[in-house]
Amino acid sequence: MTYLIQFIISFASTVGFGIITNIPRRALPTAGLTGGTAWTCYIFVQHLHANVFLANMTAAIIIGLLGNWFAIRKRVPVNMIYIPSLVSLVPGGTIYLAMKNFSLGHYANAQAGVITTVTIAVALAVGFVLAEVIVRQIKQHLRSRQQDSLAR
Amino acid sequence: MTTSHEHAVLDVCARIGRILLESGAETPRIEETVEIIGRTAGVAISCYVTLTAVFVSLTNQPETQLTKTKLGAFNLQKVDDINQLSREFSAGQVSFDDIVTRVAAIDQHVIDFNWPTKILGAGLVSVAPMLVFIADWSDLGLAFFIGIAGYLTAQLVGRKATATPYAKEVAGGFVIALLAWGLVASGVGHHAENMIVSAVMPLVPGVALTNSMREIMAGHMISGTVRALDALLIAAAIGGGVVLATTLLHLCGMI
């Protein structure tokens, strides 16, 4: 039940950000699905093992895999799905709080916030790189199989 | 000596690079797209993009076109349109002359969501999944409306005060904090901090930050660093707006 609510809220969030950033209409539902699934996985991993890096990396891998698949099916650039899907995961709130703490003079909190932000951003970026590696392998595999069947 | 065709290709490629950059595409993709279009048009070009300029150069000749750009908001429909165009061009479905006219058309006008839809979108983003089961549901419901107010303020100020950098983020943060604390003072809301964090979601540069990290990892050090710096300043501007509103309310004895 908890996961269902999380999924619905993050789905709505992703679609909302897709609207603000003006992504192509045909990518809107699939982006929502990707964002919702990734966020639910993030929550799941955090419940299993409270580690920010691991949870964000898993979510980014999910976005990378689903995003590439949907991008091929809907014929849109993969970034159209990446950008809205990231909105719930991304350290926007954290960096805002960190900068607010800086302007209030709470330097220790501010530094911790900046480091958390960088950690999350790196985790997401690493997740994307891993996903791209997996996708490239699958594509190569499919291509070589296609060539085999053509050769025959 | 450069021919007129090479000139035209250089021109349209610089324009494509600028449109893509201002619409929020990532630098590796921009360089790739521009170089593919040049190659398909029969001219070997190299493209280099930092976040404030697009360089398009003929590979074996001295001619280079430099276009200065400004960082813009996301408009992914334009990126998709250009992408579609480049794909059709590579497949030989459209001629080079068509490209020139269609790029000009994309530059001037692009379909956009209407305002009520955008407002709904901003509201949906303002209910942050990160705060579900942490903040009260009533606070999240209020954040939906506060976020809309903040988004609209930022858009309005962004349109009027184009000369002042980061004015729109400060104004957005200011309005959000004002409304959140006002609602708490009138007894409708419970925790202003939660409402503010949730409502600034449409404004914060989280996606830009993550994209900057991806660019840095892909070897685009300069544009990645510039993007990260810009994101940091945007976050600071929002924080500044929030702190300003809170301090003002403190001085007036409201909270």
Residues 6+ apart with CB under 8 A from A83: A17, A21, A23, B24, B74, B76, B207, B211
Structural element, H or E, at residue B134? none
Contact between B231 and A83 using a beta-carbon 8 Å cutoff: no
Reported as a single tens digit per residue, the pLDDT across B171-205 is: 999 999 999 998 888 888 888 888 888 899 988 88
Contact between B207 and A90 using a beta-carbon 8 Å cutoff: yes
Are residues B124 and B242 both part of a single domain?
yes
For the question of an ipTM over 0.95, the answer is no
CA–CA gap between residue B78 and residue B106 (Å, rounded): 7
Total tally of structural domains belonging to chain B: 2
CA–CA gap between residue B168 and residue B162 (Å, rounded): 9
Sheet holding B53-58, edge to edge: B45-50, B53-58, B64-68
Buried (b) or exposed (e) across B108-124, using 16+ Cβ within 10 A? Answer: eebeebeeeebbbbbbb
Q: In which band, very low, low, confident or very high, does the pLDDT at B1 lie, cut at 50, 70 and 90?
A: low
Are residues B103 and B119 both part of a single domain?
no
Q: In which band, very low, low, confident or very high, does the pLDDT at B244 lie, cut at 50, 70 and 90?
A: very high
Among residues B108, B143, B174, the one where a domain terminates is B108
Among residues B80, B108, B136, the one where a domain terminates is B108
- The structure's pTM equals 0.86
Are residues B121 and B234 both part of a single domain?
yes
Reported as a single tens digit per residue, the pLDDT across A110-125 is: 999 999 999 999 999 9
Contacts of B73 in chain A (CB under 8 A): 21
Say which of A79, A99, A129 has its CB closest to residue B29: A79
Domain boundaries, chain A: 2-90+128-151
Nearest CA in chain B to A124: B210
User: Residue B16 sits in which domain range?
Assistant: 4-108
Are residues B126 and B234 both part of a single domain?
yes
Kind of pairing between the strands at B64-68 and B45-50: unpaired
Among residues B54, B88, B108, the one where a domain terminates is B108
